[in-house]
Structure 1
Amino acid sequence: MSLANGRHYLAIPGPSVIPDPVLQAMHRPAPNIYTGELVDLAHGLVPDLKKIAGTEHHVAMYIANGHGIWEAALTNMLSRGDTVLVCQTGVFGDGWGDVAQSLGATVHRLEFGKTDGLDPLKIEQALRADKDHCIKAVLVTHVDTATSLRNDIAAVRKAMDAAGHPALLAVDCVASMGCETFEMDAWGVDVAIAASQKGLMTPAGMGFIWMSDKAMKAGQSANMRTPYWDWTLRSAPEHLYEFFGGTPPTQHLYALRTAVDMLLEEGMDNVHARHAALAGAYWAAVDVWGQTGALKLNVEDPKLRSHAVTALRLNEPDGTRLRDWLTEHMGVTLGIPLGMADWDEDAWHGYFRIGHMGHLNAQMVLGVIGAIETAFVALDIPHSSGGVTAATAFLAKAAGKAVTPEAKSGGGCCA
């Protein structure tokens, strides 16, 4: 007898749960890619993707994962030898900088640690020191999926403006787009990137870049740009194949159309509020569990925590024991640590992550919380009981709060 039989819940920070309507939208024969329904569908996605990112500027779609979009963004912004300033708060900030370096850019890194957010003053100081304006772009991760840190993007723009520096502000939103409030135009972001498999609730394989007029102009002289990554045609195509530099990802486009419809029907303000409430339920449970034993959130300050993923630590090897037991006995899989060995090699097996992004609701979150508390008991991991009760009380209060009805229009993020 196994208690894990039934539908398994992959509670990792991406790929996220794919809604049934999205899966069903993909289940169709290959369409005509030259005229007709799919062509209209692709063009119709453009304004709606802009709504999700909070921009009136440009968007380009790619067949790529987040790592591919790192490269696409860099090659459109930079020429070989250009300098970028990388603001690092985890694995993915480091990774974007590594890609820039491998492409031939000069990379200056500001390391802010793995548990605290960016310090805008240090960014301002670094830009003021760049008297000749050699830095062409500032690279920031909105949410680092490994550390669960969420950075204040508007504060970064203020620091750049205070320094009077002309660099582009480029933001990795792979873990945050569709989960966290993101206001590209209001926050002064020049380039934002995302991928399909997290908050956008679509199978992995598509990537997106939103870019300002300033970024488009700067890209005209970028000599890193290659024909496939070039965002020029993709941002204003006449033909469907120009969106993708060749054959489009047909089934993915049907899936994305359905996922985007679901987001906009719910309303982006409501989507963001739902993610915040469900994240808060996890934090409420952890606050109780952690009163006894070693359990700790990687990010102590709630204002710096992601609403899409939570990184936690137990004593080694209890993190790995917990994950393995939940998969085998509860039908729940949590996320493995990423980059933790680089921070604390001896404690790698103490870390784990919970993904709470995309297509999820309160009963799914409460199920995971109940499963984790069950695992604590079964594995004799020290904790204070009552995490489930704390989470239910938090969600009961959250459910009683008014939700913005105007978000039903789907324009909440751009209002």
Structure 2
Amino acid sequence: MAGRNHLYIPGPTNSPHEVLSAMHLPMEDHRAPTFPLLLKPILEDLKKVFRTETGQAFVFPATGTAGWEIALTNTLSPGDKVLIYRFGQFSHLWMNMAQRLGLDVEMHEVQWGKGIPLDDMEARLKEDTAHEIKAVLATHNETATGVTSDISGVRKAMDAAKHPALLFVDGVSSIASLDYRMDEWGIDASISGSQKGFMLPAGLAILAFSQKALACLDSAKFPRCFLDLKDQMNSNKDGYTPYTPSTPMLHGLRASLDILLEEGMENVYARHHRLAEGTRRAVTAWGLKLCAQPGFESDTVSAIVVPEDKDARDVIAKAFNKYDISLGGGLSEVMGKVFRIGHIGDMNDVSMLGAIAGVEMALLDCGIDIVPGSGVAAAIEYYRATVTA
């Protein structure tokens, strides 16, 4: 088939040409006296993306999943109680990791399509008068269902309960895309990965920790080596890493940060909202619904529910095999029930219109009753009305 595959999954996302070009360079000495000129500014500029002045940023040659483990093992001890709400595959996996590490996990089940229930969380924390809960694990953007939770509201609930627990946030599919304010929201560990809003290949765990969280390093009793924050801190202060880094990825991250900060984080958030809203209007025009309940809709990924007599996997396969479009599949409990369109990373209005047009063709081919051109028309009118010259 002529042309290229069109990537409309929520990660890995499309990489800008500038990022790919920055990574295409000869190998270099990561112990050279010039290496700190690369690493130190990256760690400082990451704080601007996390929106923290008092926290400390870290980059590991790993993934967002490793980021979860870094947060848990560097600040907690086996047997510590943590509170988590399960409302999608990724909150489920974080819960599973905590259990496998030996933490005492208190899990509350939430309907998939909704996010963290703030009143329920506040009430539970008020009940915990002995402060047995040591950390709240909050998934900001549940990629599997296209649901965004209110992290500002989580902080308000914790403050209202006067609870001292640490607040850890999985921001893998939100940071560098959705409004995120680490200091303002009192977040103690922010966890992200390179392949989402940072528009890089998978391979970096990108994190930031509050001073409150870093103060827990000495008391944390989990064994750790490769994922030890102390080793990173000891090396990072001089502009180096405790082991061999992926230097091409760091150059790509440098280029990504330049793009994000030049656009401005508020503009980044607004762009993702526009792209998502155009997609949502297309879904409405098709007569379909999102998995996300009203008020929880994500600006980085839309999970779209197919009619009960259809299988979303057929839509995904048709889109890929016939139109060379990659869509996200339903995971676990929503497998076969939803397909996902990512509107995250290096995307613009025309990118999204291509996704919407391709999805329309796949839906029609699968016998789903929509009006041809309806979604494209709805998105076009929205984008035309909201574009800034």
Amino acid at match of 1:355: G
Contact 2:49 2:176 in 1 (8 A): yes
Aligned match for 1:59, one of 45, 57, 60: 57
**Which residue pairs with 2:306 in the alignment?**
314
Please, which of 283, 287, 296 is the counterpart of residue 280 of structure 2? 283
In the alignment, what sits opposite 1:105?
A: 103
1:372 and 2:335 correspond: no
When normalised by structure 1's length, the TM-score is: 0.89
Is 2:294 the partner of 1:296? no
Structure 2 distance, partners of 1:73, 1:17, is 28
CA distance in 2, matches of 1:99, 1:263: 31
Q: 1:320 to 1:240 in 2, by over 3 A?
A: same
Cα offset, 1:54, TM superposition: 0.5
Residue aligned with 1:383, SS: coil
Amino acid across the alignment from 2:63: N
- Output the CA distance in 1 between the equivalents of 2:363 and 2:80: 51
Identify the residue that residue 66 of structure 2 maps to in structure 1.
68
Q: In the TM superposition, what are the counterparts of 1:200-239 in structure 2 within 5 Å?
A: 200-235=198-233, 237-239=236-238
Which residue in the other structure is 1:255 paired with? 252
1:389 aligns with 2:377: yes
Residues 87, 138 of structure 1: 8 Å contact kept: no
SS where residue 108 of structure 2 aligns? strand
Moved more, 259-268 or 310-319: 310-319
Equivalent residue, structure 2, for 1:405? none
Distance 2:284 2:4 in 1: 29
The change in CA–CA distance for 1:193 and 1:225 in structure 2 (over 3 A counts) is farther
Cα deviation for residue 39 of structure 1 reads 2.5
The one of 183, 186, 208 equivalent to 2:184 is: 186
Secondary structure of the 1:140 match is strand
- Give the conservation status (yes or no) of the 8 Å contact 1:58–1:235: no
The DSSP-based 3-state class of the residue aligned with 1:333 is strand
Q: Distance in 2 between matches of 1:377 and 1:317?
A: 12
Contact 1:193 1:207 in 2 (8 A): yes
> Partner of 2:147: helix, strand, or coil?
coil
TM-score after normalising by structure 2: 0.95
4+ residue segments displaced more than 4 Å: none
What is the correspondence of 1:314-333 to structure 2 with a 5 Å cutoff? 314-315=306-307, 316-333=309-326
Give the counterpart letter for 1:368 in structure 2. A
Q: After TM superposition, give the deviation of residue 235 of structure 1 in Å.
A: 3.8
Give unmatched runs, 5+ long, in structure 1.
342-347, 403-415
Percent identity over the alignment? 39
- What is the alpha-carbon distance in structure 1 between the residues aligned to residue 35 and residue 345 of structure 2? 25
State the number of aligned residues. 385
Q: Is the Cα–Cα contact under 8 Å of residues 31 and 38 in structure 1 kept in the other structure?
A: no
Paired with 1:95 and 1:180, the residues of 2 have a C-alpha distance of 22
Answer yes or no: is 1:350 the counterpart of 2:337: yes
Q: Residue 126 of structure 1 aligns with which residue?
A: 124
Residue 34, structure 1, aligned to residue 31, structure 2: yes
Give CA deviations for 1:377-407 in whole Å, capped at 9, x if unaligned.
Answer: 333311234111110011111104x8xxxxx
| Aligned mates of 1:246, 1:377 — CA distance in 2 | 52
Give CA deviations for 1:345-400 in whole Å, capped at 9, x if unaligned: xxx32321111111111111001111112223333311234111110011111104
Give the secondary-structure state (helix, strand or coil) at the position aligned to 1:288.
Answer: helix
Residue 7 of structure 1 corresponds to which residue in structure 2? 4
* Structure 1 residues 377 and 102, CA gap change in structure 2 (3 angstroms): closer
Q: Distance in 1 between matches of 2:314 and 2:179?
A: 34
Q: Which amino acid aligns with 2:350?
A: Q
Cα displacement (A) at 1:36: 4.1
Q: Which range moved further: 44-53 or 314-323?
A: 314-323
Q: Please name the residue that 2:169 is paired with.
A: 171
**1:27 Cα deviation (Å)?**
1.1
Q: Deviations over 1:189-211 (max 9, x none)?
A: 11110000000011100002211
Give the conservation status (yes or no) of the 8 Å contact 2:30–2:245.
yes
Cα distance, 1:225 vs structure 2: 4.7
2: distance between equivalents of 1:398 and 1:374? 26
Equivalent position SS for 1:166: coil
2:45 aligned with 1:48: yes
Distance 1:378 1:102 in 2: 44
